[in-house]
Amino acid sequence: MSAAQWRKAMNFSDAGRNWSGGRPVAATPSDARSATRSAPAAQAGVSLGRLWSHIRWRHVIVLAAVLVYPWIASPFFTYQIGAQALALGLIALSLTFLAGYGGMLSLAQMTVAGIAGYIVAILGVSGTPEISLGWPWWLVVILAVAGATLAATFIGWLSVRTEGIYTIMITLAIGMAFFYLAQQNYAIFNGFQGFQKVVPPVVLGIDWRGPVPFYYLALFWALAGYFFVKYLTRAPFGIALQGVRDNARRMRALGFSPVAHRVAAYAVAGAIAGIGGVLLVWYNGLISPGSVGTSWLINILIIAVIGGLRHPVGSFIGAIVFVLLQNFAIDLIDRERFNLVIGLGFLVIVLFSPDGLLGWWDKVKEWALRRTGGRRSAGRSNEWRSVGVPQVRPVGRQ
Amino acid sequence: MTIVRRWYWAWIGGLIIAALAVWGIVDNQRLFLVTTLNGLTLAALYFLVASGFTLVFGLLRNVNLAHGSLYLLGAYVGWVVGELTGSWFVAVAAGFLFAALMGLVLQVGVFRFMQGDDLRQTMATIGLSIIAADVALWIWGGQIYQFDPPSWITGTTALPLVGKFSTYRLVLLATAVVIGIGLWAFLAYTRVGMMIRAGVDDRGMLSASGVNVQMVFAITFAIGAGLAGFAGVVGGTALSIAPGEDTRYLLASLVVVIVGGMGSVAGAALGAVLIGVAEQFGLAYAPTYGIVFTFVIMALVLAFRPQGILGRRT
């Protein structure tokens, strides 16, 4: 980020803090009551107007497409492709948030999601009644997300003590340790078998296990997570987090606590991954050590990197590509060789397009604009760059 | 006084461990001693794998997450060569050479083009490890392979207090000690070793003083990878080789270097002893929570000494 952008960003966050901090002060004098009543309304009007100006055709088209999708696609495509991609995308979104905006590449996001899944299976209803406690679903889901958030906070607290490349090692070690624990332990985790028949509940007369209801459930949380991350990265906390990513020492000098911001980012990502984990365990109907094994820890990274770490939408694009490959690699190449395909694809992306598919999209757009004598290429690429991971960018493309 | 104050946690931890050890000896002496010896042999194996990992990281700042794959590929190639020639020693040499060659190819062919780009290098090693694991599964399938070492090291040896103990494990322990001393002598006394140590401290300065840094990098990577392949054959003989061993030894090297300190060979030895012994005691005394021991050690080290026990702050 350049110095000018920085100043802008910092001013933005200052304004945000003054605004939220100044409101209660303005509300106390009684003579200013009419003024305070109109101020939030005006504010809402302005932000709605600003929101409106940000909506482009592509947003409308994508939203309409994902809403209409289950009515035109077969149940297989709705459930196996659509819902799975949304659940995996949500978990990958938590990694995109951590890595793209916090600069912390955590490989333990699937572990966090798996912890949420295990809590759902252990406290809720499963095919192993000797262990499962059979608590009501709403309590179980709340506890699962809370437990995932706590676990993520703990992982974050352990790993933010070191920086950069250590993070990936420590989180990988924690994730693998959890896998071996789940595999060895029969008293709590039911060992190698795990838990079967972990299904979504029937609420409001709707069986949420059906392809279409489950798709909409996953879609709701995916959209909620996406817009939450979009909001958070422009909120003061998100701006400060990006500051910590780019220059922790300078942020400390400005009075921010880099450690607190990083741990908080882990907690937020943990909550997102927890929701994704609950969805994923319901989607699969089971959870076993294999669901949190090394290959899945890495698959989440692959999904996030294939899509591109620079923007929250990348995780969902990556998830769609991954799920499509997983289901249809059998037609292209021997089913057994799926890992080879995904590994090669990942390697190609890492070697030739560090920004993932979004990077290719940008390149295509830049090329097209150059061909047509482009107008707004400079401004747009600047906006992209403000949310990049510095290390994944190729050298000399500042 | 300062030693007591600075290492107070080590004293406290040592006292607790000593008390547990006394209880273990009183409770069941033979189990305790056999577990200790098993722990030390596992530590020997972990040291062989992790020393290469930490050497590469110290100099190249490259977290080679394909290190476990080098272990597994070295073991498989060693097995094939062993079957062809009928000699276990040739198999060990083949495992070392093949992994060293792979390491050389990786450094010269891939990582050299991403120098200083830690995260990209690491992600590339992840991609490579996926590919390597799948190719190995393709060629060698999911079977479990076992080596055929010469008969004089396959039996058991009677030891005082312990009773019968696998000779091969003792040989493994001795091998690791010899390799450790050899590695230390290589780093301390040879010209290339000095270059590597200088590079760990300051890469830019080493390059500025006229040393061909790329050559030093390639040699280090080859030695580190070769040690992994060597450990693959040696460890595969002690246990067995099967798909999935790569992630097991990757986890072991990760935890060992996190605990011992990145870039320090002595730290790798200390970490390997801690983790190997803890793992075996976990298996013997609390079978379903064994991994928790390892994890608690790692968490404690990270909480109180994030750079590792013998690591230096960079």
Residues contacting residue A367 through CB under 8 Å, at least 6 positions apart:
none
Question: Residue B287: inside a domain, yes or no?
Answer: no
**Interchain contact, B302 vs A305, CB within 8 Å:** no
Asked if residue B100 has pLDDT above 80, the reply is yes
- Partners of residue B159 on adjacent β-strands: B163
DSSP-derived letter for residue B212 is -
- The Cα of A180 is separated from the nearest Cα of chain B by a number of Å equal to 7
Burial A19-46 (b: 16+ CB within 10 A, else e): eeeeeeeeeeeeeeeeeeeebeeeeeee
List the domain range (segments joined by +) for residue A169.
Answer: 72-362
Number of neighbouring beta carbons within 10 Å of residue B95: 32
Percent of chain B with pLDDT strictly greater than 70: 96
Question: Residue A87: inside a domain, yes or no?
Answer: yes
**Interchain contact, B134 vs A339, CB within 8 Å:** yes
Q: For residue A7, what pLDDT is reported?
A: 44
- The Cα of B103 is separated from the nearest Cα of chain A by a number of Å equal to 17
Q: Which of A95, A154, A172, A398 to mutate to test the interface with B (most CBs of B within 10 A)?
A: A172
Residue A5 CA neighbour count, 13 Å, CB half: 13
Question: Residue A56: inside a domain, yes or no?
Answer: no
From A358, A255, A367, A264, select the one nearest A316 (Cα to Cα): A358
Asked if residue B4 has pLDDT above 80, the reply is no
List the domain range (segments joined by +) for residue B215.
Answer: 44-246
Lookup result for tokens 């999911």: B142
Cβ-based contacts of A395 with chain B (< 8 Å): 116-117
Model pLDDT for residues B197-224, shown as the tens digit of each residue: 888 777 788 888 888 888 888 888 899 8
Asked if residue B169 has pLDDT above 70, the reply is yes
| Per-residue pLDDT in tens (0 to 9) along chain A, 398 residues | 444 444 444 444 443 333 333 333 333 334 434 444 444 444 555 566 666 677 777 777 888 777 777 778 777 777 778 888 898 999 999 998 988 888 888 888 999 999 998 998 888 777 777 777 777 878 888 899 999 999 999 998 888 877 777 788 888 888 888 888 888 877 778 877 778 777 777 777 777 777 788 888 888 899 899 989 988 888 888 888 888 888 888 888 888 888 888 899 999 999 999 999 999 988 888 888 888 888 888 889 888 888 888 888 888 888 888 888 888 777 776 666 777 888 888 888 887 777 777 777 778 888 888 877 655 444 444 444 434 444 443 333 33
Encoding tokens for residue A108? 């333990």
Instruction: Give residue A215's region: left, alpha or beta (phi > 0; psi -120 to 50).
Output: alpha
Residue of B nearest to A105 (CA): B119
For residues B73-98, give the mean pLDDT: 89
Cβ-based contacts of A389 with chain B (< 8 Å): 119
Q: For residue A45, what pLDDT is reported?
A: 53
Distances (CA, A) of B103 to A147, B123, B222: 42, 16, 5
Q: For residue A151, what pLDDT is reported?
A: 92
- Which residues on chain A place their C-beta less than 8 Å from a C-beta of chain B? 105, 158-159, 161-162, 164-166, 168-170, 172-174, 176-177, 180-181, 184-187, 191, 294-295, 298, 301, 305, 336-337, 339-340, 342-344, 346-347, 350-351, 354, 389, 391-392, 395
- The Cα of B7 is separated from the nearest Cα of chain A by a number of Å equal to 20
**Interchain contact, B135 vs A340, CB within 8 Å:** yes
Of B124, B257, B289, the CB nearest to A347: B124
Domains contained in chain A, number: 1
Question: Residue B175: inside a domain, yes or no?
Answer: yes
Of B123, B137, B247, the CB nearest to A176: B247
Asked if residue B151 has pLDDT above 80, the reply is no
The end-to-end CA distance of chain B, in Å, is 27
Question: Residue B18: inside a domain, yes or no?
Answer: no
**Interchain contact, A336 vs B137, CB within 8 Å:** yes
User: What ipTM goes with this model?
Assistant: 0.78
Question: Residue B83: inside a domain, yes or no?
Answer: yes
Q: For residue A50, what pLDDT is reported?
A: 67
Question: Residue B32: inside a domain, yes or no?
Answer: no
CA B37 to chain centre: 17
Asked if residue B98 has pLDDT above 90, the reply is yes
Question: Residue A268: inside a domain, yes or no?
Answer: yes
Question: Residue B78: inside a domain, yes or no?
Answer: yes
- Mean of all residue pLDDT scores within chain B: 83
Domains contained in chain B, number: 1
- The Cα of A294 is separated from the nearest Cα of chain B by a number of Å equal to 7
From A85, A102, A95, select the one nearest A172 (Cα to Cα): A95
DSSP string, B16-35: HHHHHHHHHHHH-HHHHHHH
Q: For residue A115, what pLDDT is reported?
A: 92
Question: Residue B273: inside a domain, yes or no?
Answer: no
* Helix, strand, coil % over all residues of chain B, rounded to 5: 80, 5, 20
Question: Residue B15: inside a domain, yes or no?
Answer: no
Q: For residue A49, what pLDDT is reported?
A: 66
For residues B288-295, give the mean pLDDT: 78
Cβ-based contacts of B110 with chain A (< 8 Å): 351
Q: Would you mind telling me the total number of residues written for chain A in this entry? A: 398
Q: Give me the phi and psi of B241, to 5 degrees please.
A: -115, 135
Q: What is the dihedral of CA A174, A244, A88, A166, to 10 degrees?
A: -30
User: What is the CATH number for A136?
Assistant: 1.10.3470
Long-range contacts (CB closer than 8 Å, 24 or more residues apart) made by A200-207? A200/A137, A200/A282, A201/A137, A203/A137
Q: Longest Cα pair distance anywhere in chain A, in angstroms? A: 76
Distances (CA, A) of B200 to A40, B193, B212: 59, 11, 14
The identity of residue B102, as a single letter, is M
Of the two residues B274 and A18, the one the predictor is more confident about is B274
